[in-house]
Copies of this chain bind each other. A is one copy, B any other.
Amino acid sequence: MTATAVNPSGQTPAEEQRAAAAPSSFPVEPDPGTRRLNTAKAIQEAIGSQMEQNPEVFVMGEDVGAYGGIFSSTTGLLDRFGAQRVIDTPISETAFIGMGIGAAVEGMRPVVELMFVDFFGVCMDQIYNHMAKIHYESGGNVRVPMVLMTATGGGYSDGAQHSQSLWGTFAHLPGMKVVVPSNPYDAKGLMTAAIASDDPVVYMFHKGVMGLPWMAKNKRSIGAVPEEDYLVPIGKARVARAGTDVTIVTLSLSVHHSLDVAEQLAGEGISVEVLDLRSVVPLDREAIVASAAKTGRVIVVDEDYQSFGLSGEIAATLLESPDARGAAFSRVCVPDVPIPYARELEYAVLPTHARIEAAVRAAVGA
């Protein structure tokens, strides 16, 4: 027996070519322009536009119709496309997510909503043993071009069963891409990319970035979004703010807290780089290493549980890179505890401004 060298991209040259060619009809990260939308509207717009262009795209989930999605991800779509393409389901996640899989196998492009990611436990088999594995098990003969859209995150006292992030759980299991937009521009471009993708994509939006009228709003939950279709490539991080002293590797709502901290500390002469991962799978390890190599200090800010997840994987990425392995490392995550209900407790475990600030100061010794 010999150690087997495995091709890390897992692709033949022909496949790489096809992949590069596939969704090139849409521009990649165009200028944002001046029109401003909140994240929810950006998502609705991306789905609506793809539905217009492709009759095989449809939306399915609980309360996605007349209600417009509990977090407004599908508002207005029922009126535009009718109940045949915007389908309210019974509370049967295994059945309707599996139905999305079967429809995708036959060439449709379902966008299926799992209302809260916390509910994955009732339907994970369809997601991780079927949606994510069929392409591989079929030796590449069967594709599952499906988007599984779901709401994540806490901060409004919804308790241990409705406040989790859990991207680490999905990312650990092979065969699905995992994207996590933090702002309206990325939300639209990533949704367009997800629907265009021939792979299953788990699209995780934090309730706190949607710009909902009934939830505390971050100023960045509204931003400039092009009217045309465009792609934000899956698997590419974004430097949300350039800096030189310390790198915050983060994603989703925590990007905003991190930017707030960076802005505040800039006044003290502390230069913080904020890297918005945007995708967890594929993870943009090059961007992480490049920033770590530059600043020499990495703080992971992650609203998912701390242990055995994203933050550890970033540590491994650093240690595995000759350029980044010497970087200082710390993390501001949710410790390994169910999310508590009471505000005082929940904000003790969330990656708050205060905890991030303290971590930056500790890192730079200020």
Which A residues contact B (CB, under 8 angstroms)? 1-4, 6, 10, 94, 118-129, 132-133, 136-137, 159-161, 168-169, 171-175, 280-281, 283, 305, 307-316, 318-320, 325, 329-331, 335-338, 340-341, 347-349, 352-355, 357-358
Beyond A6-B349, A308-B313, whether A172 also contacts B169 by CB under 8 A is yes
Known: A127-B121, A174-B305, A355-B3. A316 touches B337 (CB 8 A): no
A1 to chain B, nearest CB (A): 4
| Contact call A129/B124, Cβ cutoff below 8 A | no
CB atoms of B129 and A161 under 8 A apart: yes
In contact, A125 and B125 (Cβ under 8 angstroms): no
Q: Is B2 in contact with A133, judged by CB distance below 8 angstroms? A: no
Question: Which B residue's beta carbon lies closest to that of A170?
Answer: B308
Q: How far is the CA of A127 from the CA of B124 in the complex (A)?
A: 12
Residue numbers in B under 8 Å from A357 (CB-CB) = 3
B336 touches A329 (CB 8 A): no
The listed residue with most B CB atoms (<10 A of its CB), out of A315, A318, A336, is A315
Q: Which residue of B lies closest to A94 (CB)?
A: B122
Complex contact A126–B121 (CB within 8 A): yes
Question: How many copies of this protein are present in the complex?
Answer: 2
A338-B283 contact given A121-B126, A312-B312, CB 8 Å threshold: no
Within 8 Å by CB of A338, from B3, B175, B313, lies B175
In the bound assembly, the distance between CA atoms of A118 and B319 in angstroms comes to 30
Instruction: Establish whether residues A169 and B173, one from each chain, have CB atoms under 8 Å apart when the complex forms.
Output: yes
Determine the distance from Cα of A128 to Cα of B161 in the docked complex, in whole angstroms: 9
Q: A125 touching B119 by the CB < 8 A rule?
A: yes
Q: Quote the shortest CB–CB distance from A154 to chain B (angstroms).
A: 14
Q: Is B169 touching A169 in the complex (CB atoms < 8 A)?
A: yes
Q: Are B305 and A308 in contact (CB under 8 A)?
A: no
Q: Which residues of B contact A94 (CB under 8 A)?
A: 122
Q: A307-B171, A308-B313 are in contact. Are A121 and B124 (CB under 8 A)?
A: yes
User: Taking A121-B127, A122-B125, A313-B312 as contacts, is the C-beta distance between A2 and B354 under 8 angstroms?
Assistant: yes
Residue on B nearest A300 in the bound complex, by CB: B316
Q: How far is the CB of A129 from chain B (nearest CB, A)?
A: 5
Within 8 Å by CB of A121, from B129, B171, B175, B347, lies: B129
Complex alpha-carbon distance, A319 and B249, angstroms: 15
In whole angstroms, how far apart are the Cα atoms of A4 and B350 in the complex? Answer: 10
A-B pairs with lowest CB-CB distance, top 5 = A121-B125, A312-B312, A121-B124, A315-B316, A319-B329
The chain B residue sitting closest to A304, CB to CB, is B172
* Interchain CB contact under 8 A, B6 and A172: no
Q: Using Cβ atoms and an 8 Å threshold, which residues of chain B touch A335?
A: 6
- B residues less than 8 Å from A132 (CB atoms): 338
Rounded to whole angstroms, the CA-CA distance of A330 and B347 in the bound complex is 36
Among A4, A128, A172, A308, chain B packs the most CB atoms within 10 A around the CB of: A308
Identify the closest chain B residue to A331 (Cβ): B316
Which B residues are in CB contact (< 8 Å) with A4? Answer: 347-348, 354-355
